[in-house]
């Protein structure tokens, strides 16, 4: 009990805006916090089931919606830190925490007394005086119980619990293996000639990485994206490109962190779980609650892109191969040549080198640009503060206010790589907007990335792709910050997964507009605005190699659906199976001893299983939606307000098709993406 008194989760945070006191939270606080929070959550559920009164929205649905607040806060804090700031000891807690959470979730979703009360409210909803949002909440809660086994027999419920327990351990293990495998690769180079062709910024970063890893001289390459991408795009040394390609594509494969058996087990268990619930595959289970609705719709959607993109991709690849052969006598064109010679062709065709843009994209200026765009569109103001605790000194925090100076949320910006942080970029929430206890709480949102860091002699200067990534994740952040729902279950970004990428992907478009770049793109030394000529080049290369880009994305979709929409019970060799799935998108000879599935964290350690198609689906929505801004003006406030009021603020309070139609005035144009990419 004395220990619990010191546990920050068991008392008011006493921080500004009730922010998480990261400076007070220690690893040993989590297990006790989970145990107490689960006990409290069960007591809250018991209060509902013990009621003798007739079940109503007010005495059943509402208290269920607001139950488990402490557990949500503890779990959200733990798993966000697990991704952003954790060592092996911290990660190992997941093997204890995840099974307990799975058991807790099942104890509620399979509680028949609770379900019968919810079911009665649902069955009598037509006679109840409920508003649109209340009806939506009731429907979502009822279906969540049904889709998680509430109607199963007792023996099947036990099987479901067993499967969920197993899955709760496997996904964290997949993630741990991938991070450990990524971190174990460190290539120390002493001969600078091997780095010929790399931009100065990449060479400086490699030298800094070497120093940070205790090397007195030389350069160090890792498998973090800011290290990998410059090598593949610019390194003249073909052997170096090959080495990095093979290392990156074989993460968590055939080493001590091999994920093959884990991913097979995850896929198999997901299939068994779906069958237990009455579905043929995990994909059928997932797609029932998506805009796409079923597998045939997804298949047709992807096939339409494939048929248009494949001929273009072959044409683009032929052009790149031809350049490599004519200029460097490359007869055996391989995967490690694609990015390198693609850049060469791009430079020849458009007189454009991405490194020309980097001096204008100092990270502080890009962040400032994001805020200016949000201000011009939605009237938001971002004020940097040091009054909110952070989990790492490199994290910046901002108070976010609306046009009337009302506080609407906290924004954390965590932008650079660390060995304690997973790769990639993502937006997450520490608290979702909506009703908690007796009041509507403001959101606490975090943007996370692994961008090119600063060095002793140079600030962090981003390439165009890195800047696009931050615009993308900031779009997700705006979705969460501008949520205007009553209930957290329905609040943004808790929307259908093939709708959730619309706010992020539409945001990328502003980066390519001169009006936007003029707000922040200044040369980090001279202060000069980015020249119009360079902006014209950026615009011109937007459609470059879109055939190849679409085929690459489709390959991930086919991989995802192959593991989740097929009968995968008897697969022995994960690599042979993967090779079959990728055959129709393979344009180059496969790199020997590599495996994509072993590092496909989106679907095996994230929430995109049977849903990776949602990136392409949302690209169609955003391409069509952004046409409105093109027609009315990139910073037209009426259009922006319509997007905010019909999309960003509404969460899942209404059907996404209806929300999109309200904004656009019609159904989305299915060919909008292909037109935008110049493929039609």
Q: Give the CA count within 13 Å in the CB-facing half-sphere of 443.
A: 29
Residues 41, 104: contact at Cβ < 8 Å? yes
3-class SS at 335?
helix
CA distance readout (Å), 224 to 127, 147, 309, 421: 57, 38, 29, 11
Alpha carbon distance 48, 672 (integer Å): 48
The rounded distance, in Å, linking the Cα atoms of 499 and 657 is: 9
- Rounded to whole angstroms, the Cα distance separating 116 from 106 reads 16
Q: Which of 316, 343, 355, 473 is an active site residue?
A: 473
d(CA 223, CA 549): 21
Distance CA 78, CA 93 (A): 9
Give 384's strand partners.
398
Q: Which residue carries 């880009």 as its tokens? A: 549
> Which residue do the tokens 């656009």 mark?
664
Q: Is 288 a catalytic residue?
A: no
| Beta strands 381-385 and 396-401, pairing class | antiparallel
**CA end-to-end distance (rounded Å), the chain:** 67
Please identify which residue in the block is written with the tokens 């790199």: 591
Q: Could you give the CA distance from residue 314 to residue 331 in angstroms, rounded to a whole number?
A: 17
The 10 Å Cβ neighbour count of residue 212 is: 11
CA–CA dist 576, 21 (Å, integer) = 48
Paired sense of beta strands 187-189 and 219-221, if any? antiparallel
Alpha carbons 106 and 401: distance in angstroms, whole number = 39
Contact by Cβ (8 Å): 578, 559: yes
**CA distances, 98 to each of 34, 78, 95, 103 (Å):** 10, 11, 6, 9
How far from chain centre, in Å, is Cα 303? 24
Secondary structure tally for the chain: helices H, strands E: 28, 9
Q: Where are the beta strands (DSSP E) in 150-196?
A: 187-189
431 vs 492: CA distance, rounded Å: 11
Residue 422: closest CA among 574, 272, 225, 243: 225
What count of residues does the chain have?
680
Q: What is the spatial distance between Cα 613 and Cα 302, in angstroms, rounded to a whole number?
A: 8
Place of tokens 């090959």: 242
* Cβ contact 503:625 at 8 Å: no
Closest by CA to 460, choosing from 371, 507, 524, is 524
Both tokens assigned to 34 = 């989970």
Stretch (H or E) spanning 200: helix 200-212
- Residues designated catalytic: 473
């Amino acid at each position: 009990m004395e220990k619990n008194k010191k546990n920050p989760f068991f008392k008011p945070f006493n921080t500004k805006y009730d922010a998480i006191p990261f400076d007070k939270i220690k690893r040993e606080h989590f297990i006790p916090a989970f145990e107490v929070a689960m006990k409290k959550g069960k007591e809250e559920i018991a209060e509902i089931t013990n009621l003798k009164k007739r079940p109503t929205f007010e005495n059943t649905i509402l208290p269920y919606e607001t139950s488990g607040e402490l557990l949500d806060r503890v779990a959200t804090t733990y798993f966000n830190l697990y991704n952003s700031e954790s060592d092996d000891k911290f990660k190992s807690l997941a093997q204890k925490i995840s099974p307990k959470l799975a058991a807790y979730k099942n104890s509620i979703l399979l509680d028949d007394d609770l379900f019968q009360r919810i079911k009665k409210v649902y069955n009598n909803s037509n006679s109840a005086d409920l508003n649109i949002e209340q009806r939506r909440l009731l429907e979502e809660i009822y279906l969540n119980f049904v889709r998680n086994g509430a109607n199963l027999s007792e023996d099947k419920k036990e099987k479901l619990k067993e499967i969920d327990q197993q899955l709760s351990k496997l996904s964290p293990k997949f993630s741990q293996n991938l991070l450990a495998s990524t971190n174990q690769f460190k290539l120390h180079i002493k001969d600078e000639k091997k780095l010929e062709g790399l931009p100065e910024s990449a060479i400086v970063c490699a030298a800094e990485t070497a120093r940070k890893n205790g090397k007195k001289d030389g350069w160090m390459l890792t498998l973090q994206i800011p290290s990998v991408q410059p090598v593949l795009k610019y390194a003249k040394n073909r052997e170096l490109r090959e080495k990095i390609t093979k290392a990156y594509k074989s993460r968590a494969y055939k080493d001590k962190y091999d994920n093959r058996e884990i991913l097979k087990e995850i896929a198999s268990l997901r299939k068994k779980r779906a069958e237990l619930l009455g579905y043929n595959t995990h994909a059928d289970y997932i797609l029932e609650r998506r805009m796409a609705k079923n597998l045939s719709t997804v298949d047709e959607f992807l096939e339409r892109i494939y048929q248009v993109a494949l001929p273009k991709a072959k044409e683009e690849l032929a052009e790149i191969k031809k350049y490599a052969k004519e200029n460097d006598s490359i007869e055996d064109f391989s995967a490690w040549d694609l990015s390198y010679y693609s850049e060469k062709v791009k430079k020849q065709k458009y007189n454009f080198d991405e490194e020309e843009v980097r001096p204008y994209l100092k990270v502080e200026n890009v962040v400032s640009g994001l805020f200016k765009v949000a201000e011009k569109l939605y009237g938001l103001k971002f004020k940097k503060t040091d009054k909110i605790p952070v989990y790492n000194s490199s994290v910046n925090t901002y108070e976010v206010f609306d046009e009337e100076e009302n506080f609407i949320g906290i924004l954390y910006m965590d932008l650079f790589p660390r060995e304690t942080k997973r790769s990639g970029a993502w937006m997450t929430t520490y608290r979702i907007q909506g009703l908690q206890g007796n009041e509507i709480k403001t959101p606490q949102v975090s943007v996370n990335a692994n961008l090119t860091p600063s060095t002793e002699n140079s600030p962090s200067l981003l390439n165009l792709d890195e800047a696009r990534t931050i615009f993308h994740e900031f779009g997700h952040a705006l979705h969460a910050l501008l949520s205007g729902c009553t209930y957290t279950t329905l609040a943004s970004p808790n929307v259908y997964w093939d709708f959730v990428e619309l706010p992020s992907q539409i945001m990328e478009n502003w980066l390519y507009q001169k009006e936007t770049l003029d707000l922040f793109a200044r040369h980090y030394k001279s202060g000069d605005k980015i020249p119009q000529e360079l902006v014209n080049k950026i615009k011109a290369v937007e459609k470059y190699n879109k055939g190849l880009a679409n085929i690459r994305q489709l390959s991930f979709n086919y991989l995802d659906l192959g593991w989740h929409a097929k009968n995968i019970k008897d697969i022995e060799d994960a690599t042979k199976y993967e090779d079959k799935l990728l055959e129709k998108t393979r344009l180059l000879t496969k790199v020997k001893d590599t495996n994509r599935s072993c590092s496909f964290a989106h679907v095996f350690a994230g929430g995109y299983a049977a849903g990776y198609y949602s990136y392409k689906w949302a690209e169609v929505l955003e391409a069509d939606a952004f046409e409105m801004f093109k027609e009315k003006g990139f910073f037209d406030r009426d259009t922006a307000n319509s997007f905010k009021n019909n999309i960003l603020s509404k969460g899942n309070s209404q059907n996404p098709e209806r929300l999109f139609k309200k904004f656009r005035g019609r159904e989305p144009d299915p060919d909008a993406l292909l037109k935008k990419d110049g493929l039609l």
